[in-house]
């Protein structure tokens, strides 16, 4: 186990615009060592590292402590990882990625940290690794990867993490919480605001308010940024209705008021905050749509809708957008990429 002398051993799976930034901030601290699993970008990262241009942290070439092609390669020398951090997209409707990390998951030592959006992302991991703690984590991050190995970052990096289902855990939750807190401290020392939440599902639902509305509508409305969406009164009303459904479902399911960026979550406040941003936001789903990549609609819409209905909350606007989004995606995924 990591002490203050031994660095925390981290295996990073998913080294896109999100994983590379958080891996970087761990490695630069000197208190954690990141082994990065690079699949499509292995050659570029192995030879040249990530070129990161960050408003918050400056421009730097980030060479991870170690770069490997596969998880098997990462454990071939017997290395034991304290954390496996998964930063891939959550696409449970297409692929169950939970098996990929299996060679690196020591039972019960390894903490599986999932930095992903949406609801229900932990389920495949909890089913496959019942004795391992899962640190469910949400990122607020404005980064993109304009080309392979080149990362652009703005100023936001906030992380919000917490144990998944601590009440039914088979492990010593206070010991695990201390290890998660220690990792969050490493991030904080290198400039990443990282907080530990007791009820991370509340945070997930709170973040979903924006993701299930602006994100999804940007695509099904034909490809619009936040400014274009808010300029249409009908679209603004729709976003309000979607947010209201998410808030109602989330509060019913978690049993308490949702809090978004420090304040009680209301649709009006979140819309007004978005409206007041200096630049229009291009939601991540819209970027996926434009690049003809799969969208995270299963964890952003399907799972929340199913949970809401199970708890007796009607979510007709969410259902409508979900049906349309899956149709839109099916069309472009079936077409050849240009």
**283 CB-contact burial (10 Å; exposed 0-12 / middle 13-18 / buried 19+):** buried
Instruction: Give the nearest distance from C-beta 305 to a second copy in angstroms.
Output: 10
Instruction: Give the nearest distance from C-beta 334 to a second copy in angstroms.
Output: 10
CB under 8 Å, gap of 24 or more: what pairs does 140-145 form?
A: 140/207, 141/17, 141/18, 141/21, 143/17, 143/18, 143/21, 143/54, 144/17, 144/287, 145/16, 145/17, 145/20
Binding-residue pattern over the window 118 to 137 for a second copy, x denoting contact by CB under 8 A: --------------------
Would you give the distance in Å from CA 197 to the centre of its chain?
Answer: 15
Burial profile 225-238: b = 16 or more Cβ within 10 angstroms, e = fewer: ebeebbeeeebeeb
Is residue 93 involved in binding a second copy (CB under 8 A)? Answer: no
Among 3, 77, 174, 234, binds a second copy (CB under 8 A): 234
Q: Applying CB under 8 A, what is the total number of residues that bind a second copy? A: 28
Is residue 331 involved in binding a second copy (CB under 8 A)? Answer: yes
Which among 34-42, 49-57, 98-106, 323-331 is the span making contact with a second copy, rule CB under 8 A? 323-331
Kindly state the DSSP code that residue 31 receives in the 8-state scheme: S
Among 97, 224, 284, 303, binds a second copy (CB under 8 A): 224
Which among 43-51, 74-82, 233-241, 267-275 is the span making contact with a second copy, rule CB under 8 A? 233-241
Instruction: Give the nearest distance from C-beta 279 to a second copy in angstroms.
Output: 20
Is residue 222 involved in binding a second copy (CB under 8 A)? Answer: yes
Is residue 320 involved in binding a second copy (CB under 8 A)? Answer: yes
How many Å apart are CA 230 and CA 235, to the nearest integer? 7
Which residue shows structure tokens 């992302």? Answer: 121
Instruction: Give the nearest distance from C-beta 235 to a second copy in angstroms.
Output: 5
Instruction: Give the nearest distance from C-beta 286 to a second copy in angstroms.
Output: 13
Pairing of strands 263-264, 259-260: antiparallel
Identify which of residues 193 and 223 has a Cβ nearer to a second copy in the complex: 223
Q: How far is CA 201 from CA 138, 160, 163, in A?
A: 10, 11, 9
Which among 72-80, 114-122, 250-258, 320-328 is the span making contact with a second copy, rule CB under 8 A? 320-328
Instruction: Give the nearest distance from C-beta 308 to a second copy in angstroms.
Output: 14
Identify which of residues 15 and 241 has a Cβ nearer to a second copy in the complex: 241
Among 13, 135, 183, 321, binds a second copy (CB under 8 A): 321
Is residue 289 a contact partner of residue 223, using CB atoms and an 8 Å limit?
yes
Is residue 131 a contact partner of residue 23, using CB atoms and an 8 Å limit?
no
Instruction: Give the nearest distance from C-beta 244 to a second copy in angstroms.
Output: 11
Q: How far is CA 92 from CA 96, 154, 300, 314, in A?
A: 5, 29, 11, 24
Is residue 217 involved in binding a second copy (CB under 8 A)? Answer: yes
Which among 42-50, 71-79, 221-229, 252-260 is the span making contact with a second copy, rule CB under 8 A? 221-229
Concatenated DSSP letters of 122-188: THHHHHH-TTS-EEEEEE---EEEEETTEEEE-S---EEEEESSGGG-SS-HHHHHHHHHHHHHHHH
The site for a second copy (CB under 8 A) is made up of 217, 220-224, 228-229, 232, 234-235, 237-238, 241, 316-317, 319-324, 326-328, 330-332
């Amino acid at each position: 186990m990591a002490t203050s002398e031994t660095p925390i051993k981290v295996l990073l799976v998913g080294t896109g615009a999100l994983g590379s930034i958080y891996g970087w901030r761990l490695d630069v601290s000197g208190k954690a060592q990141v082994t990065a699993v690079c699949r499509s970008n292995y050659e570029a990262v192995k030879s040249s590292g990530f070129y990161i241009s960050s408003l918050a942290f400056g421009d730097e070439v980030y060479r991870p402590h170690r770069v490997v092609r596969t998880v098997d390669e990462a454990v071939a020398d017997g290395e034991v990882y304290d954390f496996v951090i998964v930063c891939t997209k959550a696409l449970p409707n297409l692929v169950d990625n939970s098996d990929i990390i299996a060679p690196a998951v020591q039972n019960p030592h390894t903490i599986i940290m999932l930095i992903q959006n949406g609801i229900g992302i932990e389920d495949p991991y909890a089913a496959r690794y019942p004795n391992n703690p899962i640190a469910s984590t949400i990122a607020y991050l404005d980064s993109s990867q304009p080309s392979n190995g080149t990362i652009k970052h703005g100023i936001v990096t906030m992380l919000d993490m917490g144990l998944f289902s601590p009440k039914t855990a088979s492990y010593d939750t206070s010991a695990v919480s201390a290890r998660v807190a220690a990792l969050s401290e490493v991030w904080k020392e290198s400039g990443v605001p990282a907080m530990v939440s007791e009820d991370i599902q509340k945070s997930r639902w709170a973040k979903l308010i924006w993701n299930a509305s602006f994100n999804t509508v940007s695509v099904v409305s034909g490809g619009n940024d936040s400014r274009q969406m808010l300029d249409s009164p009908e679209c603004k009303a729709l976003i309000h209705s979607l947010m209201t459904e998410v808030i109602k479902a989330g509060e019913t399911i978690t049993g308490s008021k949702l809090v978004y960026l420090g304040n009680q979550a209301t649709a009006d406040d979140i819309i007004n905050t978005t409206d007041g941003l200096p630049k229009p936001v291009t939601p991540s789903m819209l970027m996926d749509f434009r690049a003809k990549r799969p969208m995270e609609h299963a964890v952003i819409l399907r799972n929340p809708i199913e949970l809401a209905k199970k708890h007796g909350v009607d979510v007709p606007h969410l259902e409508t957008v979900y049906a349309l989004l899956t149709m839109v995606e099916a069309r472009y995924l079936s077409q050849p990429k240009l």
